Structure 1
Amino acid sequence: MLQIDLWKRVLIWAVCAFGLLMALPNAFYERVEAHNDATAALELGYSGNGLEEQAAMWPNWMPSSLVNLGLDLRGGAHLLAEVQVEDVYEARIKSMWPEVRDLLREERGTIGTIRLQPSDVDELRIKVSQPENIGRAEELVRGLARPVASLAAAGASDIVVDTDGGELVITLSEAEKLATDERTVQQALEIIRRRIDEVGTREPTIQRQGADRILIQVPGIGSAAELKEIIGTTAQLTFSPVIGRGSNPDANPGVGNEILPSLDEEGVYYTIESAPVVTGEELVDAQPSFDQNNRPAVSFRFNPTGARKFGNYTAENIGSPFAIVLDGEVVSAPVIQAHISGGSGIITGRFSVEESTNLAVLLRAGALPAGLEFLEERTIGPELGQDSIEAGRIACIVAFVGVLVFMFLSYGTFGLFANIALIINVGLIFGLLSMIGATLTLPGIAGIVLTIGMAVDANVLVFERIREELQSAKGPARAIDLGYEKALSAILDANITTFITAAILFAVGSGPVRGFAITLGLGIMTSVFTAIFVTRLIVVIWFERRRPKTIEV
């Protein structure tokens, strides 16, 4: 009959109380946000500037998780960047030259001398002095080929070796280019995410669009230019042998070499080998520090592979200069004084403390594998975001009040019970959004408004069922019991199909669509819970106290 066990009642009210408690910080958004920021700063060792007072604005024993506001509600920056994957082909081909050179020099007696020839950026041309034995050179270089690291190109090699007269021509295979494109975009996406996370921005949206584009949306940041400054620097660090030093940037560097300007010395240019000894990809850590003269610098540490290559080079070239190159400029060109075996070192230059800190962040996050071309940039001011919040709030209030009035006029006392459950339902939605750290956007607000309208559907089904049972001359208790029992299948069918739709939208959608899907999906779960359990519990408690002979629904 119409009864609910005590443990079920306690559990239902406990779930409601917990959900509303988690939603409570959102009612004091600015205060809790200031508390969270101040607490995070204090944990990092900062003090002063009123941080202690801001941290005390909200009790530490209370939940402090907030629903993050998206770009359209908070204001911020929007960028659409295209990854220049062709840059990677050139770097990959250049890096092969030292390995190919050392291999062919060992067969000098068979194939003669070799010389690197001018070529396109995506190929390597090597002239052999004994062209009649070029087949042997081709065979040796083909031995350097490796399988393409991609399931879609199983069995394919990463390079193609051909001959053109007395020259070897080495290019990347099409399978390797496709795998490189995929790898480059994924790596760029992760590095952008790490760089933005390093500066402590709140809930950025960073996702891939199409084959080689990345969408970046960061709420709360000042402008698109500021965002570009954070992610636009490639921070490509290399350690390369120095061939010479001069003042003419237009001099002929020779094949396999390049001329780069000095960062500190105006009018000074270094000729260095294009193929570096070690790259920034082999860095595992970079931290701001100070040199022996107490000037800002950046200390770094290589992984085992980089440490071995760095150690071998320094052991074999004591007394020779080597260049530390950052983004196409020579930061410094020290002379190797001794064998450096620890795999660590320090970058000195004319840095300020802020510049050394930013450089360490960029190096620690990793070098972008390729350049970015920004196709679209947009700054959304906080005023526009505030207007969106007000519009969304008005929409929610109008929908909420409309539903409350309709339910009360249609179902009287039972409509009032449904309204209480609806208020709890909205609180539970915000509690869940806070718990999972979801980002609320304008489409997300639309999902909440839709949920408010859908939340009473289950109650309408139940109440109409109770009306039908009352017309069959059944008692009030039995009519209520059968009403919930017979409406359950229809409630579950309607909400499960809608939840599947929300899941599909979340899986295949992006950005705003996902925001809508999250709030819709969570709203469906809370709606079913409040309709089946909360409303029924309220009705049971009312019936046990009043024991009415007849009821009006």
Structure 2
Amino acid sequence: MNRKGKDILILAIVVALTVCVGLLAINGAQIGKWRLKPVGSAISLGLDLRGGVYAVYKAKDPNQADLDSLIEGTISIMRTRLSDKGYNEATVTKQGSDRIRIEIPDVQDPAAVLDIIGTPAKLEFRTSDGTVVLTGDDVKSATAVTDAAGSEYKVRLVLNDSGKEAFAKATSESIGKAISIYLDDNEISAPTVNDAITGGEAVIEGNFTLDYARELASLIQSGALPLDIEQDEVSAVSATLGVDVIDRAVLAGVIGVILVMLFMIAVYRLSGVMASLALAIYIIVVFYCMALVPGIQLTLPGIAGIVLAIGMAVDANVIIFERIREELKTGRGIESAINRGFKNALSAIIDSNVTTIIASFVLMYFGTGSIRGFANTLFIGVVVSMITAIFVTRALLKCVAGIGFTNPKLYSR
């Protein structure tokens, strides 16, 4: 196959894949039991689009040693607790140097959820003289169970090896005495030891309801928070955009992109057609990234970040096409003009995109909430736009030139 045939085949495959992937992104697909959701339904929406609750906790002692590692450990436990309660779309992130921010979309009972998040859950077994013989670190697993009659709920603990040994020793030395069980320094039960317990299991009783037993088991299972924290800020957030308004925003975005494509085609002709195809690929990739990258939520500022990134993608193509047009005016052939045009435009494109990427990194690290949402989408959009401008647009232009469209008038007014 000659070059012209190869370029026609490549261009046809790119167009077909773009159309197919675009339709999958819009409509999804169902193949037997396997289902691909539309990208729109797979993108996690932020608080401003869905409503929910956010809270900020701060370290009681911001000057303590290893603060960063303590915060990371606390964040991990908070995520586990939220996941155990079914809040899989909640986000827990570090804010500044000594704060933790939690955002939970679609919450019906904010107070109950925040109660679970902020509870230290420090579990201790103490002998009658106050000696701590067992802590939450010695617990391998915790589950809510019922008694034989099924009328009372308890929490059954399975101890790890060190806990099993320590508990066996403590119970053998405390026969006839009480071993009190404390949660966050509050005594919840004080059973009397009748025999040494060597099986590596313990039970917490206290007239619990099923919900409380499950909650207590979840707290113990996830572990105590390694950092002493206090609530600094909390707020319930109602969705500022309804479904109708979001649909209108999507429609406005589609119309805007089509108008931009028509403008590029009118001014740059065949180059504009290839840029429009590259822009379609860019938009599809960005929204798939939004759906697949963990921790990314679409917010109102995030939409602004996407719009800005699309503008930068178009700007990169305009810079390239202007350089190509300048080369064509000197009498160069189309392939030579494409190569020279991209070479001359490369430094300007990289400089503008890299500075924007650096700015988005700064906003992601130091920003909070809506600012971070803007930075996330801007970062994804700019990285993808730089790749599509430098590689995709160039490859498409080389294909149409290889097919035989070499008249300079096809590439510019």
Q: Which SS does the other structure have where 1:451 is aligned?
A: helix
Given that 2:95 and 2:368 are in contact with CA atoms closer than 8 Å, whether structure 1 keeps it comes out as no
Shift in Å, 1:329 = 4.5
Cα distance in 2 between the residues matched to 1:507 and 1:345: 44
Given that 2:7 and 2:400 are in contact with CA atoms closer than 8 Å, whether structure 1 keeps it comes out as no
- Quick check: 1:512 aligned with 2:370? yes
Alignment CA distance shift 1:520-1:16 (3 Å): farther
Q: Report the equivalent of 1:526.
A: 384
Q: Report the equivalent of 1:190.
A: 76
Shift in Å, 1:428 = 1.0
Which range is displaced more, 383-392 or 356-365? 383-392
Higher normalized contact order (CA 8 Å, seq sep 6+, divided by chain length): 2
Q: Which SS does the other structure have where 2:34 is aligned?
A: coil
Q: List runs of 5+ in structure 2 lacking aligned partners.
A: none
| Residue deviations 1:240-291 (CA, integer Å, cap 9, x gap) | 234xxxxxxxxxxxxxxxxxxxxxxxxxxxxxx4443222232221012223
Alignment of 1:234-245 (within 5 A): 234-242=120-128
RMSD value over aligned CA atoms?
A: 3.7
Q: Report the equivalent of 2:356.
A: 498
Counterpart pick for 1:484 among 333, 342, 348: 342
Q: Report the equivalent of 2:36.
A: 62
Q: Report the equivalent of 2:200.
A: 343
Shift in Å, 1:183 = 6.4
| Residue deviations 1:49-73 (CA, integer Å, cap 9, x gap) | xxxxxxx899615377722222222
Opposite residue 177 of structure 2, the aligned amino acid is S
Shift in Å, 1:439 = 2.2
| Residue deviations 1:175-196 (CA, integer Å, cap 9, x gap) | xx82386665554333222211
Cα distance in 1 between the residues matched to 2:384 and 2:352: 14
Given that 2:4 and 2:402 are in contact with CA atoms closer than 8 Å, whether structure 1 keeps it comes out as no
Q: Report the equivalent of 2:235.
A: 378
| Residue deviations 1:444-496 (CA, integer Å, cap 9, x gap) | 21221011111122221222122222222334444344333433343333333
Opposite residue 124 of structure 2, the aligned amino acid is T
Cα distance in 2 between the residues matched to 1:351 and 1:203: 29
Q: Which SS does the other structure have where 1:277 is aligned?
A: strand
Given that 1:307 and 1:342 are in contact with CA atoms closer than 8 Å, whether structure 2 keeps it comes out as yes
Which consecutive segments of 4 or more residues in structure 1 shift more than 6 A? 180-183
Cα distance in 2 between the residues matched to 1:211 and 1:523: 27
Q: Report the equivalent of 1:435.
A: 292
Q: List runs of 5+ in structure 1 lacking aligned partners.
A: 33-55, 87-176, 243-272
TM-score of the aligned structures, taking structure 1 as reference length: 0.63
Alignment CA distance shift 1:414-1:189 (3 Å): closer
Q: Which SS does the other structure have where 1:483 is aligned?
A: helix
Aligned-pair identity (%): 35
Alignment of 1:297-308 (within 5 A): 297-308=154-165
Which range is displaced more, 522-531 or 59-68? 59-68
| Residue deviations 1:271-319 (CA, integer Å, cap 9, x gap) | xx44432222322210122233333221102233332222111111212
Given that 2:286 and 2:381 are in contact with CA atoms closer than 8 Å, whether structure 1 keeps it comes out as yes
Counterpart pick for 1:455 among 304, 308, 313: 313
Cα distance in 2 between the residues matched to 1:384 and 1:61: 29
Q: Which SS does the other structure have where 1:179 is aligned?
A: coil
Given that 1:20 and 1:424 are in contact with CA atoms closer than 8 Å, whether structure 2 keeps it comes out as no
Q: Which SS does the other structure have where 1:533 is aligned?
A: helix
Alignment of 1:206-285 (within 5 A): 206-210=92-96, 212-242=98-128, 273-285=129-141
Cα distance in 2 between the residues matched to 1:467 and 1:531: 16
Q: Which SS does the other structure have where 1:338 is aligned?
A: coil
Q: Report the equivalent of 2:223.
A: 366
Opposite residue 115 of structure 2, the aligned amino acid is E
TM-score of the aligned structures, taking structure 2 as reference length: 0.82
